[in-house]
Amino acid sequence: MGGTRVENNQACIIGINLEKRNYEKDENSLEELSLLAETAGYNPFIKLLQRRNRVDPTYYIGYGKAKEIRQIVAENNIDTVLFDFEPSPVQIRNLERLIKCRIISRTELILNIFEKRARTKEAKLQVELATLMYALPRLRHMWPHLHRTGGGIGTRGPGEKQLEMDRRRITKRINSIKKQLLSVETHRMVIRNHRKGKNKVSLVGYTNAGKSSLLNRLSHSELFTENRLFATLDPATKQVWLGDGITALVTDTVGFIKRLPHSLIASFRATLEEVKDSDILMHVVDISSRDALDQIEAVQDVLKEISADELPVLYVFNKIDLLPRRDIKASILHRYENSVLVSAKTGEGIDELKKKLRYFFAGKNGKIDRVGTKNIKYGQKQVFESEIAI
């Protein structure tokens, strides 16, 4: 799999809503795929969400819907169809033959975006590893025309030989990348050892929730930010002054997304170790998103997968400047009492955020909390038993 090849930039975006699955969630997911497409350089021409009772074994979306898409593609000079699901390699091949254009799954699109966004050597290696791990189990289904060529009883035809060569080459490259990343991980461990005894915070959250912008606001720095998914892949750590002589090292991390490919999580595991080494997590949420609750759950799923779900968490609801009414998200805030409303863009709520972090680390260091607050028990999953009195 290489980078995404965009010709006329127009893409057809296809989703599927199976029986007993929430239609609105699938709509939101399709909209997210459209944003992913734009991030990859595509111009989403049309979005279709198909309702089906079950997946079609040959074409996934069924022969009739595939023919309908072929007509749309032919009439509008579209060369790519993006699916918000994961067809098998055989289904992708069947669809490409019928529709006569390139088919890309959600996972492959995300991998391609990560490949484009990677800047440092470490990030490039991590993305390449994820891509190879994704491709390796699919090799056998990528060359079905070779399986039937040559060879008699007890022999292997050119198809099997080609598969074995590809498998060996990919496996060798995977092992090489893992060795290189191991040295990077060792370097990170040295850095973490130097930070022992210091206050450590990790920013986690859904992609484009505003983590980098928040870190810029907190630390008065100028990290790269962009209103696009996965704008930054590399972790960045800045020292932040919280007041009363307390500082903290705040680390930005790669953004998460629903159905984040497991190969990416595995490849970025060394980077995500920074999260596990934190004293507290700031879970940044785009409060203006209509999909905020699902995004919170998606981040929690990844945190659980990397064994970081038992750390103290402060929910930071960002982008309140985009809310038409401040009570519009009251139901969400009620679920997450350990929270603060902020705008990384305008600076609103930043002082309150620093104050909550300051009180947390004061409790950690054995200092006396100020009058009007309950003691903050360091190390428990629920960070604050009650909101700080205002």
* pLDDT (0 to 100) of residue 44: 93
Residue 144 included in any domain: yes
Q: Are 209 and 287 in contact (CB under 8 A)?
A: no
Are residues 30 and 126 both part of a single domain? no
Identify the CA nearest to 31 among candidates 49, 17, 18, 19: 49
Average pLDDT over residues 135-159: 55
H/E stretch holding 262 reads: helix 262-267
What is the CATH classification number for the domain harbouring 288? Answer: 3.40.50.300
Could you give phi then psi for residue 83, rounded to 5 degrees? -105, 135
Confidence band for 386, pLDDT divided at 50, 70 and 90: very low
Are residues 44 and 138 both part of a single domain? no
Are residues 91 and 125 both part of a single domain? no
* pLDDT (0 to 100) of residue 250: 94
* pLDDT (0 to 100) of residue 220: 87
Are residues 130 and 59 both part of a single domain? no
Count how many domains the chain has.
3
Average pLDDT over residues 148-154: 45
Q: pLDDT per residue over 315-352, tens digit each? A: 999 999 988 765 556 666 778 878 999 999 999 999 99
What is the CATH classification number for the domain harbouring 73? Answer: 3.40.50.11060
Instruction: Report the SS3 class of residue 47.
Output: strand
Q: Return the C-alpha torsion angle 158, 93, 60, 82, nearest 10.
A: 140
Residue indicated by tokens 């990348």: 177
* pLDDT (0 to 100) of residue 330: 64
Residue 172 included in any domain: yes
Could you give phi then psi for residue 329, rounded to 5 degrees? -110, 25
Domain C-terminal end among 62, 87, 113: 113
Task: Read off the amino acid at residue 196.
Answer: K
Residue 5 included in any domain: no
Note down the domain range covering 163.
119-180
Residue 301 included in any domain: yes
pLDDT at 296 > cutoff 90: yes
Strands 246-252 and 236-243: what pairing? antiparallel
Task: Report residue 149 as tokens.
Answer: 């060529």
Q: How far apart, in whole angstroms, are the C-alpha atoms of residue 335 and residue 228?
A: 28
* pLDDT (0 to 100) of residue 367: 40
Task: Work out the number of other CB atoms within 10 angstroms of the CB of residue 380.
Answer: 11
Q: How far apart, in whole angstroms, are the C-alpha atoms of residue 63 and residue 91?
A: 11
Are residues 207 and 332 both part of a single domain? yes
Q: pLDDT per residue over 238-286, tens digit each? A: 999 999 899 999 998 888 888 888 788 877 776 677 788 899 999 999 9
Q: How far apart, in whole angstroms, are the C-alpha atoms of residue 104 and residue 60?
A: 13
The DSSP string of 87-140 is --HHHHHHHHHHH-SEEEEHHHHHHHHHHHH--SHHHHHHHHHHHHHHHGGGHH
Q: How far apart, in whole angstroms, are the C-alpha atoms of residue 267 and residue 231?
A: 18
Are residues 61 and 163 both part of a single domain? no
Residue indicated by tokens 């915070």: 201
Are residues 86 and 19 both part of a single domain? yes
**Greater confidence, 146 or 63?**
63
Average pLDDT over residues 129-143: 78
Are residues 356 and 273 both part of a single domain? yes
* pLDDT (0 to 100) of residue 327: 59
Output the pTM of the full model.
0.78
pLDDT at 63 > cutoff 80: yes
**Greater confidence, 83 or 118?**
83
Residue 187 included in any domain: no
Task: Read off the amino acid at residue 129.
Answer: L
> Average pLDDT, whole number, for the chain?
81
Distances, alpha carbon 22 to alpha carbons 17, 18, 19, 25, 362, in Å: 8, 9, 9, 5, 44
Average pLDDT over residues 346-359: 94
Average pLDDT over residues 75-85: 93
Confidence band for 135, pLDDT divided at 50, 70 and 90: confident
Domain C-terminal end among 113, 138, 162: 113
Distances, alpha carbon 115 to alpha carbons 3, 247, 330, 370, in Å: 7, 35, 38, 48
